Amino acid sequence: MARALEDRAVIVTGAARGLGRAYAIAAAREGAAVVVADVDAAGAAAVASEIAVGGGYAVSHGASVSAAGTGEALVQLCRDAFGTVDGLINNAGVLSPGLATEQDAATIRNTIDTNVTGVINCGTAAMRAMSGRGGAIVNIISGALLGSDRLALYGATKAAVLGLTYGWALEGANLGVRVNALAPLAWTDMSNEMGGDDAGKGGAPDAIAPAAVYLLSDRSAALNGQVMRADGTQLALMAPPAFAYTVPGRDWTLDAIDEAIAGRLAVGVTPVGLGAGAAAQQV
Ligand SMILES: NC(=O)c1ccc[n+]([C@@H]2O[C@H](COP(=O)([O-])OP(=O)(O)OC[C@H]3O[C@@H](n4cnc5c(N)ncnc54)[C@H](O)[C@@H]3O)[C@@H](O)[C@H]2O)c1
């Protein structure tokens, strides 16, 4: 059977270690030529060498995704090295755990710059490069967007990427570019940053990599604007957030709202921290 990414050229950000490294290696095994991108230039070069030693094609690039121009530079490198751009895994990210009341301005800025601006920089550059020719973008999000202890900032950045995924999927449908999201769980340096019990940290990144390769490849041709969850114990698709419980009416006084919340909308009131369900405590 033909390999899923034969003759494709793809960019993987944050690919020097952890999940990004596993995605890059898995994509190369499925036939892709890979741009291994990371702010850790030496780490990215090492992963590109590892791919080459294994018989694959890879080049590396060392820069922060949040720097203006990094998206275009990655696209240019991919074109120069491999002639085309067919896909992007928007994976680079930082965790920045901590209580919302205690995080300093520099941490807040860096987390948003990396996890949101970085994703926009690379995603829009890839979208422009693939427009009209076809391609796929996989945005890496997290179950923490549903609400997770000491991860409000991180979760908010991932919620932003969920919004980007839904919006880009609509725009991409007119350009031939599919945009989906993946919420992984695997034991990496990032999971170790959270500390705590090893039991909840997930399994090996290699076990999650096929989900990212699947969303990048034509095997997922029917999927656009979808969110896949792969945590090493199950595979799931997330239902889009929706206004699930409604009461018709135009004039909403305080008393009328009170009545609706206690009445027909009572079913929609979830205890704090439980609205997110089982994924709430996971990065
Ligand atoms: N590990 C998990 O269980 C888990 C769960 C949900 C989501 N994620 C997401 O998966 C992605 C990878 O996570 P991981 O666990 O492999 O983390 P990791 O910390 O092990 O690796 C992250 C990589 O991103 C790179 N990076 C960080 N900032 C960068 C920047 N500004 N520009 C370029 N590269 C940068 C790092 O150098 C590193 O190589 C992240 O987006 C993370 O939020 C991970």
* Residue 170 to residues 65, 145, 163, 176, 257, Cα–Cα distance (Å): 24, 21, 11, 10, 34
Between CA 231 and CA 215 the distance in angstroms is 15
Binding site membership of 38 for ligand 1 (Cβ less than 6 Å): yes
Distance from the alpha carbon of residue 44 to the mean position of ligand 1, in angstroms: 13
Binding site membership of 92 for ligand 1 (Cβ less than 6 Å): yes
**Whether residue 283 has pLDDT greater than 80:** no
Q: Please report, in angstroms and rounded to a whole number, the separation of the first and last CA atoms in the chain.
A: 35
Between CA 73 and CA 143 the distance in angstroms is 30
* Residue 196 to residues 101, 149, 176, 191, 193, Cα–Cα distance (Å): 21, 12, 43, 9, 9
Q: Tell me how far apart the 2 most distant CA atoms of the chain are, in Å.
A: 70
Helix or strand (DSSP H, E) at 136: strand 135-140
Mean pLDDT over residues 36-52, rounded? 98
Catalytic residue selected from 158, 191, 217, 220: 158
Between CA 33 and CA 3 the distance in angstroms is 12
Between CA 184 and CA 283 the distance in angstroms is 8
The minimum-distance atom of ligand 1 relative to the CA of 202 is: 3
Phi and psi at residue 58, to the nearest 5°: -160, 145
Between CA 220 and CA 179 the distance in angstroms is 11
Residue-averaged pLDDT of the chain: 94
Q: Are 93 and 14 in contact (CB under 8 A)?
A: yes
pLDDT in tens, 87-112: 999 999 999 999 999 999 999 999 99
**57 a catalytic residue:** no
Paired with 186 in beta bridges are 203
Mean pLDDT over residues 1-22, rounded? 97
Between CA 16 and CA 62 the distance in angstroms is 10
pLDDT in tens, 210-231: 999 999 999 999 999 999 999 9
Between CA 178 and CA 222 the distance in angstroms is 9
Query: Percent of the chain at pLDDT above 70?
Result: 96
**60 a catalytic residue:** no
**Whether residue 19 has pLDDT greater than 80:** yes
Q: Which of 236, 217, 239 is nearest to 228 (CA)?
A: 236
Mean pLDDT over residues 205-213, rounded? 98
Binding site membership of 93 for ligand 1 (Cβ less than 6 Å): yes
Binding site membership of 155 for ligand 1 (Cβ less than 6 Å): no
Distance from the alpha carbon of residue 229 to the mean position of ligand 1, in angstroms: 16
User: What class is the 9-241 domain?
Assistant: alpha beta
Mean pLDDT over residues 256-268, rounded? 95
Binding site membership of 17 for ligand 1 (Cβ less than 6 Å): yes
**201 a catalytic residue:** no
